[in-house]
A = this chain, B = another copy of it.
Amino acid sequence: MSGRTARRRVTMAEVARAAGVSVMTVSYAYGQPGRVSDEARARVREAAERLGYPGPHPGARSLRRGRTGNLGVVLGEHLTYAFDDPQASRFLAGVAQVCADHGMALTLVPVTGGPSDVDRVTAAAVDAFVVWTTADDDPVIDAIAATGLPATVHGGPRRDDLAFVAVDDRAAARAAGIEVFAGARHPAVLSFPLDRARISSVSFGAPSNAGVTAHSGTSNVGVAPSDTVTTEAGPARATAGIDPEASTFRVTRQRLRGFRDAWAEAGGDWSQVRVAVCSTNSAREAEALAAELLTGPHACDAVAAMSDELALGTLRAAARLGLSVPGDLTLSGWDDTDAAAPAGLTTIAQSLRDQGARCARTALGHPAPGDRDTEVAWRLVRRVSTRRP
């Protein structure tokens, strides 16, 4: 066990005295080793070793230097999400790669969804922030902007005062939608949460008078879901109609818009599209919601899911119901995770790892040549799940 009594920290001045040099010589010996002679450096190291000096106090150093050597990462979710969600993990692997390249530590700021998150952000000792998708109205994003530190947001919200990295979710969703909705008569969307409340629901798209006009900016003026009714299936609720514009998550909003675009191009109306909203990105929950989509009087024959996770849950539900894919049901996912290819899942491929790296580079002020201008790459991967007979 750690049977240490909290020993007092040895100070630089003590090392200086023991080594017979000035404090500044010790400081330079650590911070700019080239600045002192070999002999002085050796004496300092020896004295430090002898006294058990652990090196300059990081807090004091960062106070004086004005930088910490830490990159802060803020998730719009609970901290454990960083390691539990495969998409977040891949993104963070990219961030971590860049951190390692620059010798920066990676600090995960402990957001939990509670009111103290703001304080946690302002208390974070970091030089820059990378933010993983959060809601437009998340107070955390204001706190980050208020620090005045460089910050890059992935996915959303998009703000003028913060750098931004994301694929063109709307265009990609449109591409996926065209593919999966082709020949469909009863299309459906399996969506991420619409807002921070993260309430799961099953309903149709909002009638077309409720904001079909595409708002390309950050206006979130849409009509919020109302008139919710709990179904017997569990926590799912039927809402009056899902309006893409009402979602406060930019990624969700853009993808809903894109799916709506695709269905509109096929001559359909958004209000014909059933939309199931998951409270979380899990195959388990998706399976339950998909079962609802695939049965009853409005049983669907095409499902556009916002992640491979959700699509795989749908696959399981279909299998359980004896439905064949793509015979009875076409299906698309998102992300092209490792599981997508074996499952024959049509999906949107994007490298979250690259995007994480790009966010980190941008935030740290070391952009790679293409970072500033190049659009973030994505492509539609066609597989058997949308090959309607």
Q: Produce 1/0 per residue, A338-377, CB < 8 A to B.
A: 0000000000000000000000001000000000100000
CB distance from A376 to the nearest CB of B (A): 14
Picked from B52, B83, B362, the residue with its CB within 8 Å of the CB of A93 is: B83
Q: Produce 1/0 per residue, A1-26, CB < 8 A to B.
A: 11110110100000000000000000
Picked from B54, B62, B96, B146, the residue with its CB within 8 Å of the CB of A147 is: B54
Known A69-B123, A93-B84; judge A106-B103 contact (CB<8 A): no
Q: Among residues 122 to 157 in chain A, which have CB atoms less than 8 Å away from a CB atom of chain B?
A: 122-125, 146-148, 150-152
Q: Among residues 270 to 326 in chain A, which have CB atoms less than 8 Å away from a CB atom of chain B?
A: none
A96/B82 in contact, CB under 8 A: yes
B148/A107 in contact, CB under 8 A: no
B124/A105 in contact, CB under 8 A: yes
Which residues does chain B contribute within 8 Å of A122, judged by CB atoms? 54-55
User: Which one of A108-116, A183-191, A204-212, A245-253 is at the interface?
Assistant: A108-116
A83/B90 in contact, CB under 8 A: yes
Known A9-B148, A125-B125, A148-B52; judge A106-B110 contact (CB<8 A): yes
Which residues does chain B contribute within 8 Å of A147, judged by CB atoms? 54
Which residues does chain B contribute within 8 Å of A160, judged by CB atoms? 3
CB distance from A68 to the nearest CB of B (A): 7
- CB-nearest residue of chain B to A113: B100
- CB-nearest residue of chain B to A64: B59
Picked from B9, B100, B116, the residue with its CB within 8 Å of the CB of A110 is: B100
A125/B80 in contact, CB under 8 A: no
Which residues does chain B contribute within 8 Å of A148, judged by CB atoms? 4, 6-7, 9, 52, 54
B150/A4 in contact, CB under 8 A: yes
CB distance from A126 to the nearest CB of B (A): 8
B93/A103 in contact, CB under 8 A: no
Interface assignment of A92: CB less than 8 Å from any CB of chain B: yes
B89/A103 in contact, CB under 8 A: no
B4/A161 in contact, CB under 8 A: yes
B96/A80 in contact, CB under 8 A: yes
B78/A100 in contact, CB under 8 A: yes
How many Å lie between the Cα of A1 and that of B152 in the bound state?
8
Which residues does chain B contribute within 8 Å of A61, judged by CB atoms? 59, 123
- CB-nearest residue of chain B to A82: B96
Picked from B58, B100, B162, the residue with its CB within 8 Å of the CB of A124 is: B58
A59/B125 in contact, CB under 8 A: yes
B120/A110 in contact, CB under 8 A: no
A162/B2 in contact, CB under 8 A: yes
- CB-nearest residue of chain B to A159: B2
B99/A79 in contact, CB under 8 A: yes
Q: A1-B164, A63-B63, A83-B83 are in contact. List 13 more A-B contacts (CB 8 A).
A: A3-B160, A4-B148, A9-B148, A58-B124, A59-B68, A60-B63, A61-B123, A62-B125, A70-B107, A79-B100, A80-B97, A82-B83, A105-B109
Sample of 28 A–B contacts (CB below 8 Å): A1-B163, A2-B151, A4-B150, A4-B161, A6-B148, A52-B146, A54-B146, A54-B147, A54-B148, A55-B123, A58-B62, A58-B68, A58-B125, A59-B60, A59-B125, A61-B123, A62-B125, A72-B105, A82-B83, A83-B89, A83-B90, A83-B92, A100-B110, A103-B120, A104-B110, A105-B110, A106-B108, A107-B107
